[in-house]
Structure 1
Amino acid sequence: MKRKNQGKSKKDQLFPQKLDALKEMMQSKFENNQDLTFAIYEQDQGTRVAVFFIQYMAKESQVKQDLLDPVLNSQDEWSTSSLKNDIPIATQMTKETLDEILKGLLVGEVFIYVEGETEALSYLLLNKEHRALNKAENESVVLGPQISFTESLITNMNVVRWSIRSTDLVMEKFMIGHTYPREVRLVYVKSVANQTDVNTMRQRLQDLDVDDVGDTTILMQYINDSSSSVFPQYYATELTNRFTHDIKQGRVGMLTENSPSGMIAPSTFFSFFESTEDMYMRWNVGSFLRLLRFLALLFAVFITPLYIAAVTYHFEIIPTNELITIGKSRAVVPFPPLIEALFLEFLIELLREAGARLPTKIGETIGIVGGVIIGQAIEEAGLTSSILIIIVALSALSSYTVPNYMMGTSIRVVSFPMMILAGLFGLIGIMYGACFLVIHLVKLKSLGRPYLSPVFPFYLKDLNKALFRLPLQFQNRRFLSFQPRKSHRYNREEARRQRDIKK
């Protein structure tokens, strides 16, 4: 989707224009919308000026106090140059084309046009309602800051600048969407971020030719490296602390107007298993929890397929005592293990989706009561075995340990084809599925960077940031896989030096 370069030509010029004709044109464009305010004022010398804006989009009190009062009280003859000096508003810009003016009105700009001039003055006096900063709901944390982004881009930018107090912090502005334009900010620290990553993201945003982007998560899908992959290639977070931490590490971020989440790129497969709590805990506890999540990943993907393969084809790998127990449990089940497992997994996904869509209190009740009562009922009815209920429940719990919702959903989706392969071909099918999965992850890219880094390609010095944690004294380097401009965060020898007072 490429955007064609369009420069301003004489054909695009709207001005000079008579005010009556300009008013009629604006009203026709907005279908005589009563919210469009178009006021004409005239001086004793006969000079006329028009002030027009959409009522609910602009702060009318600020329009009167900061804009109209200086204009109407001016002793000079009205002109574009004199009004530039008389109106003390920092967001002053000039617009010359009809397309620029229409887009400006829709984002809260107030326009002043002096009859006969070749350009109009615009001032951003946006009257925008937004919710206050609150605790994150989708990314639960126990330790550390818990402030989440809001739908207000200005608020989100303020929070980021408050956290990264550096003149190197850059927030490039893009307007994406030719029918419903939306402001997008490309965020990075210019002294740390890799310039190739910045240029790649900038180019992808400039090449977008869409009518609307809607949200950060939708924008991510437009600029993905692989749209056919089930795995997310960029990390979307609602935690301001997670966003700013990755920006300071040299990655590139993105904030979108009316979106309560920020995007981080490039991201690796291992980034989705990191939690902000890992940074605030002791290094050994943080490492344990991170390794626990990777173990849970293996359980979520492989434990149910292994059960299906063992019960269907490979009885010899099951201990005799367990085999007798499984045989008794399955004696009354009329379905093969594959159908039985798919039925239970489908039931788990049904309960999860119902709990997520219902109001909070009702959703919690559905999850608990539905899981317990329905699970017990289908076992008593002989539709499934008790052992498989335990295995499917363990698989579901393992997938919920992933801190990122998108990655957790992707893992649950991957488990279904793995179960089908196990039911059709046994352990050989699981091996085929695992190999295909690894090959896919090896080929996958995130902003042009390897998705499995630092495991492939192998970077030994990055393993302590991806798979586990070392004490902070040993984490003086940034993620070298992404080749940041500044690889060192601090002097390692100084950080390890003994701080006690010598007697």
Structure 2
Amino acid sequence: MWNRRKRSQSDQSDEVIFPLKIDELKNLLVETFVNSSSLNFTKYKINNKNVAVFFIDYQVEGAKLGPFLEPLLEFDSDKEFTYQTLLNGLPLSTGSTSNTLKDIQKKLISGEAFIYIEKEKQAISYPLTIKETRSPGKAETESLVLGPKIAFTESILKNMNIIRWQINSTDLVFEEFTVGKQAPREVRIAYMKSVANEDDVNTIRQRIKELDVDQIEGTIVLKQYLEDSQTNLFPQFDETELPDRFAYNVTRGKIGVLVDGSPTSFIAPATLFSFLESTEDLYMRWQAGSFLRILRFLAMFFSILVTPTYVAAATYQYAIIPSQLLVSIGQSRAAVPFPPIFEALLLEFLLELLREAGARLPTKVGQTMGIVGGIVIGQAAVEAGLTSNILIIVVAMSALSSFTTPSYLFGTTIRLIRFPLIILAGFLGLAGIVFGVSFLLIHLLRLTSLGRPYLVPIYPLRLADFNKVFFRTPFSYESKRAKSYRPKDLIRFNKKDAKQKRDIDE
């Protein structure tokens, strides 16, 4: 019954409501808006015609109301009062017309002011929107030593302007969508028309169009709706708040997505290795950039495996531990009454508590909490016999390794993976770690991002793309885009011309 009534109201809102008398229009709008006190509805008499001006107070910028109302109130009585003369007389951008209740509602809540001449078949509206935005600042979740420090803001128009400034090309395309029925938001996808794979563009375009939700809270929420698997632990699209990283990926053939009101964007498709790349690698010499990229890969494996390996070795596989180190571990654990699995889970849990507390507290207090809290709690745990010194070192090294990941969401995924591996190591030893890693690898082999394999260029094997993923080469050797994403235009520049050097007198 309720669904039938709701559907009936929706059908009526799509019907043409004009022509109406001014009082009838006012009553209809008052009934439509729950909080009708914010609806400013004023009636005027111009050239013997009743005219209504209506808008929502807090959505309209006061400075724009004067130029909007002045030509209307001072209209020349010698001219015929029509919509066309009104459009020509208002010193504003071109107005638009509406004749359905649904269209009027949508424009009112987006900050447009309406003019309606009694008994006409349409109303005219002008955008007088007021939007509170901040100036671009530094990125909060992605820290850089080299490269641009500017970050996205909550204004999608400012973000598009920054991207257009970064990619000064007519080939750059911004496609506009509206997502959300109750609280619609503007969504833009950005791609290079002559480079991006058409199938990828069509796929993400179709997923956005078919998304049927009341509202989206931001870019990260939209990303989860559009991913290939919403139940998967691994993020399948790469998020960023850095315009230069966004522009870098778009020019390489990927698709970027922006959401109005969100200072974060995401890039599709992505691979497991995309989350370990940083634009900072580009601003260093290729040797240093390659070293840092390889370091992040090693840190990822170290962060996942070092604590489970300690638990397995201290519980079952004593033979793999050198004899001198085994004596130290035995002396360190002599006063600890708990098995290694409980000891490791306790320390990992305390570390996550400290991390979360430091993130939620004010910046200066959070930094102090993380440093002092870690030292005090760690020392107290050792003295109380709850854990050993060696395990504190192991857990600290594992935590430091997870911090090297440029993507915050991917770093969180790595930390979560450690817990089931520690449990498997505590019950099955090294065999449990092998089982867990094998299950994880099979899972990653089946995972896709926008239909593309998640482990490319390892699976399927693309040797030509290794220098774009695992290490860096001099720019003169990177004349081709990555084959893994199947771009329309594979060639970036002529390799022979790039290597050829000429003196000024040649």
TM-score (structure 1 length as normaliser): 0.95
User: Which AA in structure 1 matches 2:382?
Assistant: E
User: Which AA in structure 2 matches 1:70?
Assistant: P
Q: CA deviation at 1:501?
A: 4.2
- The aligned counterpart of 2:489 is 486
Distance (whole Å) between structure 2 residues aligned to residue 11 and residue 222 of structure 1? 28
- The aligned counterpart of 1:139 is 142
Matches of residues 118-133 of structure 1 in structure 2 within 5 Å? 118-133=121-136
Q: CA deviation at 1:80?
A: 2.7
Distance (whole Å) between structure 2 residues aligned to residue 63 and residue 168 of structure 1? 38
Distance (whole Å) between structure 1 residues aligned to residue 88 and residue 433 of structure 2? 73
Q: 2:191, 2:250 within 8 Å by CA — same for their partners in 1? A: yes
C-alpha distance after superposition, 1:377-415 (max 9, x if no partner): 111111111111100000000001000000000000011
Q: Which runs of 5+ in 1 are unaligned?
A: none
Q: 1:91, 1:124 within 8 Å by CA — same for their partners in 2? A: no
Matches of residues 223-262 of structure 1 in structure 2 within 5 Å? 223-262=226-265
**In the superposition, relative to structure 1, how do residues 325 and 294 fare at CA in structure 2: closer, same or farther (>3 Å)?**
same
- The aligned counterpart of 1:195 is 198
Matches of residues 359-398 of structure 1 in structure 2 within 5 Å? 359-398=362-401
CA RMSD of superposed structures (Å): 1.8
**In the superposition, relative to structure 1, how do residues 11 and 434 fare at CA in structure 2: closer, same or farther (>3 Å)?**
closer
Residue 463 of structure 2 corresponds to residue 460 of structure 1: yes
Q: 1:133, 1:148 within 8 Å by CA — same for their partners in 2? A: yes
Distance (whole Å) between structure 1 residues aligned to residue 116 and residue 170 of structure 2? 36
Q: Which moved more, 1:323-332 or 1:48-57?
A: 48-57
Distance (whole Å) between structure 2 residues aligned to residue 447 and residue 79 of structure 1? 52
Distance (whole Å) between structure 2 residues aligned to residue 190 and residue 91 of structure 1? 29
Matches of residues 467-482 of structure 1 in structure 2 within 5 Å? 467-482=470-485
Residue 268 of structure 2 corresponds to residue 265 of structure 1: yes
User: Which AA in structure 2 matches 1:334?
Assistant: P
C-alpha distance after superposition, 1:2-50 (max 9, x if no partner): xx9x998896112222111111222232245332211222222x22222
**In the superposition, relative to structure 1, how do residues 349 and 14 fare at CA in structure 2: closer, same or farther (>3 Å)?**
same
Q: CA deviation at 1:427?
A: 1.0
Distance (whole Å) between structure 2 residues aligned to residue 97 and residue 248 of structure 1? 42
Q: Which moved more, 1:95-104 or 1:112-121?
A: 112-121
- The aligned counterpart of 1:64 is 66
User: Which AA in structure 2 matches 1:104?
Assistant: K
Matches of residues 406-421 of structure 1 in structure 2 within 5 Å? 406-421=409-424
Q: 2:54, 2:114 within 8 Å by CA — same for their partners in 1? A: yes
Residue 71 of structure 2 corresponds to residue 30 of structure 1: no
Q: 1:191, 1:486 within 8 Å by CA — same for their partners in 2? A: yes
C-alpha distance after superposition, 1:223-256 (max 9, x if no partner): 1111111111111111111111111111111111
| Residue 403 (structure 1) aligned to one of 403, 406, 421 | 406
Distance (whole Å) between structure 1 residues aligned to residue 122 and residue 432 of structure 2? 69
Distance (whole Å) between structure 2 residues aligned to residue 363 and residue 10 of structure 1? 51
Q: CA deviation at 1:343?
A: 0.4
Residue 102 of structure 2 corresponds to residue 99 of structure 1: yes
Q: 1:310, 1:426 within 8 Å by CA — same for their partners in 2? A: yes
Distance (whole Å) between structure 2 residues aligned to residue 347 and residue 237 of structure 1? 29
Q: 2:43, 2:51 within 8 Å by CA — same for their partners in 1? A: yes
| Residue 52 (structure 2) aligned to one of 50, 53, 61 | 50
Q: 1:38, 1:53 within 8 Å by CA — same for their partners in 2? A: yes
Matches of residues 275-354 of structure 1 in structure 2 within 5 Å? 275-354=278-357
User: Which AA in structure 1 matches 2:371?
Assistant: I
C-alpha distance after superposition, 1:167-192 (max 9, x if no partner): 22211111111011111111112121
Tell me the SS of whatever aligns to 2:36.
coil
Distance (whole Å) between structure 2 residues aligned to residue 254 and residue 51 of structure 1? 37
Q: 1:344, 1:389 within 8 Å by CA — same for their partners in 2? A: yes
User: Which AA in structure 2 matches 1:326?
Assistant: I
Q: Which runs of 5+ in 2 are unaligned?
A: 1-6
Q: 1:78, 1:114 within 8 Å by CA — same for their partners in 2? A: no
Distance (whole Å) between structure 1 residues aligned to residue 224 and residue 110 of structure 2? 25
User: Which AA in structure 1 matches 2:279?
Assistant: T
- The aligned counterpart of 1:86 is 89
Distance (whole Å) between structure 1 residues aligned to residue 176 and residue 95 of structure 2? 17
- The aligned counterpart of 2:4 is none
Distance (whole Å) between structure 2 residues aligned to residue 308 and residue 71 of structure 1? 79
Tell me the SS of whatever aligns to 1:12.
coil
Distance (whole Å) between structure 2 residues aligned to residue 458 and residue 124 of structure 1? 53
Q: CA deviation at 1:306?
A: 0.6
TM-score (structure 2 length as normaliser): 0.95
Tell me the SS of whatever aligns to 2:174.
strand
Q: 2:254, 2:269 within 8 Å by CA — same for their partners in 1? A: yes
Q: 1:111, 1:123 within 8 Å by CA — same for their partners in 2? A: yes
- The aligned counterpart of 2:498 is 495
Distance (whole Å) between structure 2 residues aligned to residue 153 and residue 125 of structure 1? 17
**In the superposition, relative to structure 1, how do residues 490 and 98 fare at CA in structure 2: closer, same or farther (>3 Å)?**
same
Distance (whole Å) between structure 1 residues aligned to residue 460 and residue 282 of structure 2? 25
Matches of residues 209-220 of structure 1 in structure 2 within 5 Å? 209-220=212-223
Q: CA deviation at 1:81?
A: 3.0
Q: 1:146, 1:241 within 8 Å by CA — same for their partners in 2? A: no
C-alpha distance after superposition, 1:34-80 (max 9, x if no partner): 32211222222x22222211122112221321x22333344332323
Matches of residues 162-201 of structure 1 in structure 2 within 5 Å? 162-201=165-204
Q: Which moved more, 1:151-160 or 1:347-356?
A: 151-160
- The aligned counterpart of 1:445 is 448
